Amino acid sequence: MTFVLPDGRRRSFDVAEGLTLLDVARLHDIAIEGACGGSMACATCHVVVDEAFWDLLPEPAPEEEDMLDLAPELEATSRLGCQIRMTQALDGLVVRVPRTTLLE
């Protein structure tokens, strides 16, 4: 999977199935905040999913949609990184990390 950072740099990793994007970011020192630790109580792990992968994701839960309403830089393919679990179907997934998601 690949994270596209706000400065345009791309960081790609082989990841294990079952990990969330927030898990992957933390394992590889991508400075995504994730203030609530993945309990879907904030929007600080907001990522923008590449459109090519959008239809491969399960629908977001209503609770996730509510949290996304709090995210700055919200886009049509925005999701919370803590709610995307890596699967074989998501091999090659690309997400963009908004500047507002990064730890300062």
**Residue 89: predicted pLDDT:** 95
> What's 40's DSSP letter?
S
What is the mean pLDDT of each successive set of 10 residues along the chain, which is 104 residues long?
96 96 96 91 96 96 95 95 96 94 72
What does the alpha-carbon distance between residue 57 and residue 12 come to, in Å, rounded to a whole number?
Answer: 19
Contact 47, 98 (CB under 8 A): yes
- The whole-number pLDDT of residue 104 equals 61
What is the model's pTM? 0.93
- Report the alpha-carbon distance of residue 86 to residue 75 in Å, rounded: 21
| CB 96, CB 71: distance < 8 Å | no
pLDDT of residue 60: 96
In angstroms, the Cα distances linking 69 to 51, 60, 91 are 19, 13, 28
- Residue extents of the structural domains in the chain: 2-101
d(CA 65, CA 47): 13
Q: Which CATH architecture has domain 2-101?
A: Roll (3.10)
For position 1, what pLDDT does the model report? 97
